[in-house]
A and B are shown apart, each in its own frame.
Chain A
Amino acid sequence: MRNLSRAEDFVSKYEIKIGIEEEVFIVNKKGFLSPFSEELVSTLIKMIGEENQLLENARRWLLGLQWEPNPSQIEYVTRAVKYWKVKDAIKFGRKLLGQAAKKISHRIFLGSMHPIQSDPLPINGTHINISFKPVNKKKISKELLTYVFNHVRNHIPEIIAMTANTPLMGGKPSGYASSRLAFSRVLKPSNFAVVKRKPVTVIPREMRSFTRYGVLFEKLKKYKARIITNPLGVRLLDITPRGPDTNIVEDMRTSVSTSRIEIRVIDNQITEEYLSDIVKILLALSVEAIFKFEKEEKVTERKKLLRNRDRAIKNGTAAIFINDDGTTINARESIIKLMERISPFLDALNLKLETKLELGIPEIEVFGSPDIIDEYEALSELENKGKICVDVRLEGKRLCKTLFGEAVEIGEMKKVSGLLFPEYQCTWTYTGNGLIRNFNKIIVKHWLATKNGYIPIFKNDKIERCRNPLTHLSSIFNTIGKRVIYQFA
């Protein structure tokens, strides 16, 4: 680094704090979503009530728990902590939820998307908030906040490539490294931030549940300078500056101490090591921005930022990014270059990466995504096409289940008709503490629901006819219509 001692100076001049918000899934012992967030929270309150030390620790590390729209999700929010304490805060938050889940015969799944049930909703994410108030000042200046935001935003493609962790959706590969970002309706791209003088505050229509005003004149001066990343003050973007100096509606009346940048693009990282390394990288990027700001260097928007962002969402570290000069670079190489550039800032912050991110190897490459073991893939294809009304010729004898739970044998080569449906099973390596980090396998079996029960369908069985339920209905009308005419005419 050009001037490492200066970088160390900067670190001492700023009070840097980190806050993490992480959404997780509540799953049953079979690994499927279970809508019991209220029960989990009441159990947690009971646990805290019984153990003083736990209460003290919860107060120390966490700001609170948040409800999510889906009752099988829950979010913990850490306090704004010193940056070297982030990992402990994450560990505590996860462990606390895991313990509470265990008490109600459940588990916490740390992934961003459930590999089978998220299609694409429900979706979890990790939001990292970074605050960097100058020690001798009351607040972060608008210009500095804007500068750091724009600098970090310029690295969104690399951040996405490093953290993309959701290749599966609805029980099959989605074709995206981050299905969460590809299909999310709320993680839209932000714009390059500028400080603008705005005459009044326009409240977007979608915020009407927050305040019913369309325009707020109260207390505002004729013109007020605000940081604008979205003309309507929308908060739910991939990265946003936060605090009262922004035009974000929810932040209008907040204190100056809440000024920060919030990075929302990050897919959940299943290990605390990877998540805390991502935090360290974002922190180093922010310090680099402060360093550049003080040197009065200009920050400009990367030319192909949005295109690179899309490529990272699609291909992760295998993406090819376009440089400003039109040349291309592999995403992994781009990450390695970034690491080399920010390493002096990491040193200045006395931080060391614990994972392979330094080599551009993201978590998904270390732990992998679950293997999908589909015993009869052609049936899954039929199911995707909606052709679930099938006639099957059974290749061998079969033990079936009646609706009353009895086992009945069906003879070889028998033709059976019914509705095809899959049964999913998940396996994982349980590491204790009520946490499921990653699924190893997803096993897909197929059953035929018949009039009197259920028949397992195996690979050698022959599908003689398949059609979708509407075709089935129309054929009933067709045949009956003719027959009735024949009988009654």
Chain B
Amino acid sequence: MEDNTVLFFEVLKLYTELVELEKRLSTEKNMQHELIQNIMRRIKRLNKLNKDNWIFFIKSLPLEFFLSSSTDFTSKDNFMRFVRIFRKHLEKNIAYSRYSSKLHLKDAIFKENKLQLLFPMEEFNPGYLYKEGWKPVLITVPHATPPFSDKNVDKIALQTAKLSGAHVLISTISRIYVDPNRPEARITPFRRIIERLTLREGKIKVILDLHGTLRSDEEIDVEIGVFRKLTADEEIIEKLLTHFQKRGLKCELEVNNFIGGDIILHHSLVPDIQAIQIELYPKARNILRRNVIEALTEFIKDFK
């Protein structure tokens, strides 16, 4: 625990240094070699403090970071982008630690997020269906394949993508083998495609993660989850709520505790990439299906 508390404060210091670097990169022409060296030393110190600290970083940052080399940042713009993404991911994890003790109090998390596959890669590759769109919106359906699938959600996603021009990504592996909406799945092709589209190709500004609950609630048709407004701005949330309500759907924000999963938490980068989980109640997936498709299509059409 002591080590984890030290980690927390070291992460905070690293964060402030990244903020400073980002500011200087955008305002000054010349680099501050000293500041970059400080960041480098801070990372080295984190590495020395505890041999397991790397797990926190592999868990908090995009995998793309660890697949890149310094040659990928040949321009100042690329480097600025790298620093910005680094800073934002740390920020998100620090903020998220308000809701759980994950960052600094429980050493158990260090063991949890090892990169490993618990299903045969050969059998399940690639494990998803992807249809490219032309709008900067990605619709993901991580629980589309039975057993224990979210019924009709894939149909809603495909129809919406067709009408709106959004990209769509549907898992073809059942969640009983791998749940793409969990941190353990970040190494799978499904999750890496999201990272590629958002970070490397920069094609996506909004992620809509579609789910279907079995829970029946007369008072609600659609529930929106954004990790207590951590993964999306108020403006975009309001806009989505309005579109659903206009189509006669009872839509609420995080009323039954569907606050979101790992897809929206890990891949959001507010304000550049906004991620929203949409939980469709049984009525919304059946008799009100058309209304859902229309509301989502209208919402997506506004993005350019």
Could you list which residues of chain A lie within 8 angstroms of chain B, going by C-beta atoms? 28-30, 32, 34, 36, 39, 104-106, 116-117, 119, 121, 170, 383, 385-386, 388-389, 401, 403-405, 417-419, 421-425, 447, 449-451, 454, 468-485, 487-489
Contacts and interface: CB of A to CB of B under 8 A. Distances in A.
Contacts of A451: 64, 67-68
A403 B118 contact: no
A32 B117 CA distance: 11
Contacts of A423: 116-117, 119-121
A473 B37 CA distance: 12
Contacts of A119: 111
4 tightest Cβ-Cβ pairs between the two chains A and B: A405-B126, A481-B36, A479-B70, A421-B115
B40 A474 contact: yes
6 contacts: A28-B177, A451-B68, A469-B57, A470-B44, A476-B70, A481-B40
A244 B30 CA distance: 76
Nearest to A443: B120
Main secondary structure, interface of A, reads: mixed
B118 A32 contact: yes
Interface of B: 29-31, 33, 36-37, 39-40, 43-44, 46-47, 51-55, 57-58, 63-70, 73-74, 76, 79, 82, 108, 111, 114-121, 125-127, 130, 147-148, 176-177, 187, 189, 192-193, 196
A109 to B, nearest CB: 14
A485 B31 contact: yes
Main secondary structure, interface of B, reads: helix
A33 to B, nearest CB: 8
A450 B51 CA distance: 24
Given A424-B117, A484-B76, A485-B33, A473 B187 contact: no
Nearest to A119: B111
Contacts of B36: 477-478, 480-481, 484
Contact of A405 (B29, B30, B114, B125): B125
A489 B31 contact: yes
A421 B117 contact: yes
A485 B108 CA distance: 41
Contacts of A484: 31, 36, 76, 79
Contact of A480 (B44, B65, B79, B108): B79
A116 B118 contact: yes
Given A417-B67, A421-B187, 4 more contacts: A385-B51, A470-B53, A488-B29, A489-B31
Given A477-B40, A478-B40, A484-B79, A30 B177 contact: yes
Nearest to A387: B54
Given A405-B126, A419-B67, A121 B108 contact: yes
B73 A476 contact: yes
B66 A483 contact: no
Contacts of A422: 116-117
Contacts of A481: 31, 33, 36-37, 40
Contacts of B116: 421-424
A404 B126 contact: yes
A438 to B, nearest CB: 19
A450 B58 contact: no
A424 B30 contact: no
Nearest to A31: B118
B176 A468 contact: no
Given A386-B55, A388-B115, A447-B121, A469 B40 contact: no
A423 B124 CA distance: 12
B119 A30 contact: yes
Contacts of A473: 43, 57, 65-66
Contacts of B47: 468, 470-471, 474
